[in-house]
Chain A
Amino acid sequence: MSDALPTLLARIRDGIATDADRVRARGMVEADSSFPEDVRAVALTLPDEASEDAGALLALLDLDPLDLEPPLFGESDVADDVMAALGLDPALPLADAVAFEAGSVDVAGRVMSEIGAARSIPVTVPTPLPMVANDARGFRWAAVANVTTIRWAAVALAAAALFALILGRGEIGGGEEAEHLVFAQAGDVVVEDLSYAEGVQVAQLEGADGAVILWVDDGDV
Chain B
Amino acid sequence: MATCRRLLAIFTLLLAMVVSPLSSPAWADPPQQVVAKSTQATAGKVRLEILVVHGTPTGTVDPRVRDLAPQFAGMNLRGFKVLDSQSLLLGDGQSGSVSLAGGRKLELQLVSRTAQAAKVRIQLMSGAQKKLDTTVSIPRNRAFPVAGPPYEGGRLIVPITARY
**8 tightest Cβ-Cβ pairs between the two chains A and B:** A207-B71, A184-B142, A190-B137, A181-B67, A215-B148, A162-B14, A218-B131, A216-B148
Residue interface mask A26-56, B partner, CB < 8 A = 1 = 0000000000000000000000000000000
- Complex formed: what's the CA distance from A169 to B18 in Å? 9
Among the stretches A1-9, A81-89, A134-142, A171-179, the one at the interface with B is A171-179
Chain B contact residues, CB within 8 Å of chain A? 3-4, 7-8, 10-11, 14-15, 17-18, 22, 49, 51, 63-68, 70-75, 85, 102-104, 117, 119, 121-122, 124, 126, 129-139, 141-151, 159, 161
Chain A nearest CB from B163 CB (Å) reads 11
B71 A183 Cβ-Cβ under 8 A: yes
A207 B14 Cβ-Cβ under 8 A: no
A200 B10 Cβ-Cβ under 8 A: no
Q: Which residue of A lies closest to B138 (CB)?
A: A184
Interface residues on A, range: 35 or more
B150 A221 Cβ-Cβ under 8 A: yes
Q: Indicate whether A75 reaches chain B with its CB closer than 8 angstroms.
A: no
A123: B residues at CB distance < 8 A: none
B3: A residues at CB distance < 8 A: 152
B10 A159 Cβ-Cβ under 8 A: yes
Chain A contact residues, CB within 8 Å of chain B? 148, 152, 155-156, 158-159, 162-163, 165-166, 169-170, 175-184, 188-197, 200-202, 205, 207-209, 211-221
